[in-house]
Chain A
Amino acid sequence: MKTDISVEQIQAGFAQAGYICSQPIAMTMFLAYKLEKPVLVEGPPGVGKTELAKATAQLLNWDLIRLQCYEGLDEAKALYEWKYGKQLLYTQVLKDKLGDLLKGTHGLAESIDRLHEFGDIFYSEEFLEPRPLLQALKAEQGTVMLIDEIDKADHEFESFLLEMLSDYQISIPEIGTVKAKRHPIVFLTSNNTRELSDALKRRCLHLYIPFPDAALERSIIQARVPDVNQQLQQQLVDFVQEIRKMDLKKQPAISETIDWARTLLLLHTESLTPEIVESTLNVLLKHEEDITNVKDDLRSVFKNVLKGKP
């Protein structure tokens, strides 16, 4: 296992895994790894928040455990559940065996004493069904824990996570405290649909991933869609950058740029023309309103994009 790692190594490692990141991202990962603190990743949809966790898992060669949050998510789904069926069977078996076990005892008090001699395994690890959070804590190997879209979960769930995030342990009332064998790297992602509590933020490193600048976006395209030729790559990135400046309902994110690049590649496009853009705009924009808006301004956007060229 790599015990010593530098920011540059992380950046290079991510690049190898196909995740091109800026220096602040690499720095946050470095700190998360060194200080063993969870990372709260925020940013507009599609900038690679979830990808970051995947890339980290790949880089460290650790397992990725993912927990998708939604309204109504509770500890039975996130942490643990008892194996009720097995527990029922156990009580059945116990009932059958009870006669044998208590053979030779006299009176109730003695029977109870005898019963106490057997360990109480009704609530024990054998009957525990670990859910993602508990899996991450119990893993022998290091794991990357991804708690996706934490803002979709309820406030209660958020406060329930606090113990896990600060001490890497979880209390199960019937058993006691489960401590992590090895501290996992925890990612929380949020799309900012609601403000997260200060208590949660305080425990995390906070990373905000904005839309990338042109240079970074080009290298991302280069890494993800290497077959696109230089000219097209530059044009399409410039175009997307230009569109992001417009007033849109949903701005195209990196994932959409990548999709678009793939689309253009599929159509054997050599360089951007207004016609091609018009017919493929629905890959980039996901709202009818936005598409019409951009179509109206297509000429002027194009002029801006091509102006930068000799």
Chain B
Amino acid sequence: MDKVLVDFIKALRGNGVRVSTSETLDAVNVIQLVGYGNRQYLKSALNCTLAKSEEEKHKFEHCFDQFFSFNSLENLSENSVPEPPPKSFLDKLLSGNNQAAQSDQPSSELGQLLLQGSNQAIATALANAGSAANVGQIRVITQKGLYGRRMMMEMGLEQLEQEMWQAESSEDEGQQNLGRALRSARDQLREEVRSYVERQFLLQATGESRALRESVMMETRLDNLREFKNVQSLVRKLAKKLVATHSRRRKVYQRGKLDVRSTIRHNIPYSGVLLETHWKTKRIDRPKIMAICDVSGSVSQYSRFLLMFLFSLTEVINHVRAFAFSSDLIEVSEWFEKENLEAATDMTLNKVGGGSTDYGRSLQSFADICLNQIDHRTTVIMLGDARNNYGDPRTDIMKAIQDRARQVIWLNPESKRRWGSGDSEMKRYQPYCTWAEPCQSLNQLERFISNLLRYGQ
């Protein structure tokens, strides 16, 4: 029976609940204690063992309901014995003495289970057959019939059918009733098996295919990403991963510098003899970020993702301020705080997007708004292709920004080869950037942010 559990955990993992091996072992123990008998108990027991956050609890509930759902079986055992066909009064009189034998008892194992067993027993048998037939391995929907058939065989369909045919061809009324009951039970079972396989497919295959899709998305160029749904959740996931790896390193020990105050304080118990030494530490502030996004026609698709990503990162980095420009620049941080991500990006694109690019004027506006707020902790990120329609690039402002900021980073959605070609001013801006990087896929974006957090400290 543990195979059912393993399949279930596989499905959970596929649906984004992280289950470790030790938790699996816990679940095995739990099931030994609780058993499969009571659905509600099983659910809450597994829930507290496997799902470890509110979000995971929701996913768990969905998965559990899908995986262990045999609702339609509830009607099976009750309705499976069809009403005896109406008989004339005479017939009734004739057969009145053998009412008990009206419908014979089935002899095959599956037949007995279907007609007399409890729902729980049927569900258990179904799950067992499912794991024996390796339904968890199903990859494509066209395999549905194959796996369904295998499951039915596993449950002992052959004997059932033989008995059914025998009963139906027999003259005896009781036998005929039995045959009818068996036939209807078989049809319902088949229906149930089919939907079981289908659910398994949905559960298992979504996990597998999602992993595949995500790895594809990571490599895809940003401007093609529009095609994919779930980009946002992937971006969130990236940000979360970065948060997890980076939010902890907040102190750096300065080796060799004694913290005299703390050392004395901690050695009072030793009557002032300095036994324990304490060293100076440096608290690391997370970098402040100002992001300037070009949302003019040519790069607007990129900006959508870049803004999305920056804002998923607000948890790691305090004070992300976002600006957007095409022909002129405005601050958009406020919208991002109040609206949800999608709405805010749309608002930004509607408000400033689509104009012809003017880097000079936008830089001037940026300087007017907040040049004096840039300090040694600020990282300024420019997102744009630096295509300025042959206008004045105002590199003097870039220089002023670079002088004040900790670092200036330019992320360009064009590949390096095209920098400086045509109306691209990238070559002229580049000297004023701490780094200038091409940024074409989520992978590159992730690498950049990771570097930002590492070196930005």
**Chain A residues proximal to chain B, CB less than 8 Å:** 7, 23-24, 27-28, 30-31, 34-35, 37, 39-40, 42, 82, 84, 87-88, 155, 192, 195, 198, 201-208
Top 9 A-B pairs, shortest CB-CB distance: A84-B269, A24-B44, A201-B52, A27-B44, A206-B52, A28-B48, A205-B48, A27-B45, A202-B20
Distance A42 CA – B54 CA, assembled complex (angstroms) = 8
One digit per residue, 1 when the CB lies within 8 angstroms of any chain A CB and 0 when it does not, for chain B 42-64 equals: 00110111011110010000000
Using Cβ atoms and an 8 Å threshold, which residues of chain B touch A23? Answer: 40-41, 44
**A131–B23 Cα gap in the complex (Å)?**
30
- Bitwise, B251-279 to A at CB < 8 A (1) or not (0) is 00000000000000000011100000000
Is there a chain A Cβ closer than 8 Å to B415's Cβ?
no
**Chain B residues whose C-beta falls within 8 Å of the C-beta of A31 in the assembled complex:** 30, 33-34, 45, 48-49
| B454 proximal to A (CB < 8 A) | no
Q: A-B pairs with CB below 8 Å: how many? A: 62
Find chain A residues with CB under 8 A from B23 CB: 202
B338 to chain A, nearest CB (A): 13
Return the chain A residue nearest B270 by Cβ.
A84
Find the A residue at minimum CB distance from B56. Answer: A206
Give chain B residues whose Cβ lies under 8 Å from the Cβ of A155.
Answer: 248
Beta-carbon contact of A205 and B49 below 8 Å: yes
Query: For residue A28, which residues in chain B have a CB less than 8 angstroms away from its CB?
Result: 44, 48
Whether A198 and B47, one on each chain, are in contact in the complex, defined by CB atoms closer than 8 angstroms, is: no
A34–B35 Cα distance when bound, in Å, is 14
A182, chain B: closest CB distance, angstroms: 20
Complex Cα gap A31–B41 (Å): 11
Q: How far is the CB of B46 from chain A (nearest CB, A)?
A: 10
B97 is an interface residue with CB less than 8 A from chain A: no
Q: Which residue of A lies closest to B51 (CB)?
A: A206
Complex: how many Å from CA A155 to CA B244? 12
- Nearest-neighbour CB distance to chain A for B224, whole angstroms, equals 32
* Chain A neighbourhood of B112, CB < 8 A: none
User: Do residues B26 and A7 form an inter-chain contact, with CB atoms below 8 A?
Assistant: no
A260 to chain B, nearest CB (A): 26
Give the docked Cα–Cα distance between A35 and B49 (Å). Answer: 11
Q: In the complex, what distance in Å separates the CA atom of A206 from the CA atom of B18?
A: 13
Chain B neighbourhood of A30, CB < 8 A? 33
Whether a CB of chain A sits under 8 angstroms from the CB of B340 is no
User: Quick check: is B107 within 8 A (CB to CB) of the other chain?
Assistant: no
B54 contacts A208, C-beta separation under 8 Å: yes
> Which residues of A sit under 8 angstroms from B54, Cβ to Cβ?
42, 192, 208
B251 to chain A: closest CB distance in Å? 10
Q: Are B22 and A202 in contact (CB under 8 A)?
A: yes
Check if A24 sits within 8 Å of B30, measured CB to CB.
no
Contacts of A201 in B (CB 8 A): 52-53
Tell me if B29 counts as interface (CB < 8 A to partner A): yes
With known contacts A88-B271, A208-B54, A208-B57, A24–B29 Cβ distance under 8 A? no
